[in-house]
Structure 1
Amino acid sequence: MGEEKKADCASALGARILKVDHAGEEGAVNIYRAQIFMARWTAPSLVAELREFKSHEEGHRALFWTELQRRGVSRCRSYLLCGIGGWVLGCLTGLLGRHAISATTVAVERVVLAHLKEQLHTLAGRDEAAVHVISQIVEEEQLHHDQSASHVRKDHVWTKVLGPVVAASTESVIWLGMRL
């Protein structure tokens, strides 16, 4: 395969990954938006933290959108699905309270961080612009995971039930986004 063809393939892969990451950030913004709404009654002590996390996710979404626009690429077909799914997940877990909210964030961020690290490895030396954008969000995603993990009890029912379900759902959304 010629060098130009390899560059085109790498650029196409980078664009696909960025589109899915952008859609995922829309989902994350809506998870936090809905959790904030519900947490005002079920977990008021988490509202400030959730607002901070939502602000970070809005910044991440903007970073991805800026890069997609620079490339002349439209958003992912799963963008609206991610937004709606995020809102529903946020409402349900927000309704269930503090432990469910934190267990959800830990599960989502564990999956997201694994994918981001894999993306950085895959795109290194192939699409440095994508690597640059993705690398800008890893630290804050890790912060969301770690802060939420500090609220989670491993023996709590929501950790045991929601963790695997939310992680599998997050993996499924990413898988679907990469194929739409």
Structure 2
Amino acid sequence: MAQALGARLKSNETLGDRVIKVDHAGEHGAINIYTWQRAFAKWRCPELVPELDEFLAHERRHRALFEAELARRQKPRCHSFHLCGLGGAVLGVLTGVIGAKAIHATTEAVERVVLRHLQDQRGALRSVDPDVVSVIDAIIADEQQHHDNAANHLRGKRGLTEKVIDRFVAASTEAVIWLGMKL
């Protein structure tokens, strides 16, 4: 089952432990993306600030849920935690400077990848770690809302920049998740 998600587990670690660690690090990255996008949106596209505030609040709640589950399991955070934070900050600054369409393209790409991984995690863990599935279930509607809002903003407005951002962000998100499952 761990192989299905590409996890390399330590001897004292379950697949659920690893998923919680990786998802916690991912939420930290998302917080950094939205934090920095918001900082630049105040200048570039102030109409997005309320939506970014809402998404940021969701991501902080998600990280807290994963953090609580890590604490309950007495597990440390993922080795990729700081990498996710740094990557999120860089991505947030770059796309925040570019503007609204870049912000939406980033959100759509990240959330598309995240939603697929969350569904895979739910399937792999449903019968072996219902506690992790419960945490995933608590966040999945928010992640879907983020994706759908971004997709709606971009409907019919995708240029070359948005297509490049989509591919780069999706590939980067996949790579960070893969790396987190291996560390």
User: What TM-score results when the alignment is normalised by the length of structure 1?
Assistant: 0.93
**CA distance in structure 2 between the partners assigned to 1:130 and 1:154 by the alignment:** 37
Match of 1:178 in 2: 181
C-alpha root-mean-square deviation of aligned residues, in Å?
Answer: 1.6
Match of 1:107 in 2: 109
Post-superposition Cα deviations, 1:37-59, rounded to whole Å, max 9, x if no partner, equal: 01111111111100100000000
Q: Shift of residue 150 of structure 1?
A: 1.0
Matching residue within 168, 171, 177 for 1:168: 171
Q: Which structure 1 residue ranges, 4+ long, deviate > 4 Å from structure 2?
A: none
Q: Any residues of structure 2 matched to 1:145-156 within 5 Å, and which?
A: 145-152=147-154, 153=156, 155-156=158-159
Q: Does 1:159 align with 2:162?
A: yes
Q: Any conservation in 2 of the 1:100–1:162 contact (CA below 8 Å)?
A: yes
User: What amino acid maps onto 1:151 in structure 2?
Assistant: H
Match of 1:132 in 2: 134
**CA distance in structure 2 between the partners assigned to 1:168 and 1:147 by the alignment:** 21
Task: State the percentage of identical aligned residues.
Answer: 56
Give 5+ residue unaligned stretches, structure 2: 1-10
Post-superposition Cα deviations, 1:111-166, rounded to whole Å, max 9, x if no partner, equal: 00000000000001110111111111000000000011111145322321100110
Matched residues, number: 173
**CA distance in structure 1 between the partners assigned to 2:32 and 2:66 by the alignment:** 16
User: What TM-score results when the alignment is normalised by the length of structure 2?
Assistant: 0.91
Q: Any conservation in 2 of the 1:19–1:76 contact (CA below 8 Å)?
A: yes
**CA distance in structure 2 between the partners assigned to 1:154 and 1:173 by the alignment:** 28
Post-superposition Cα deviations, 1:74-108, rounded to whole Å, max 9, x if no partner, equal: 00000011011100000000000000000000000
**CA distance in structure 1 between the partners assigned to 2:158 and 2:66 by the alignment:** 37
**CA distance in structure 1 between the partners assigned to 2:89 and 2:165 by the alignment:** 16
Match of 2:99 in 1: 97
**CA distance in structure 1 between the partners assigned to 2:122 and 2:157 by the alignment:** 30
SS in 1 for 2:79: coil
Q: Any conservation in 2 of the 1:154–1:160 contact (CA below 8 Å)?
A: no
Match of 2:6 in 1: none
**CA distance in structure 1 between the partners assigned to 2:83 and 2:163 by the alignment:** 26
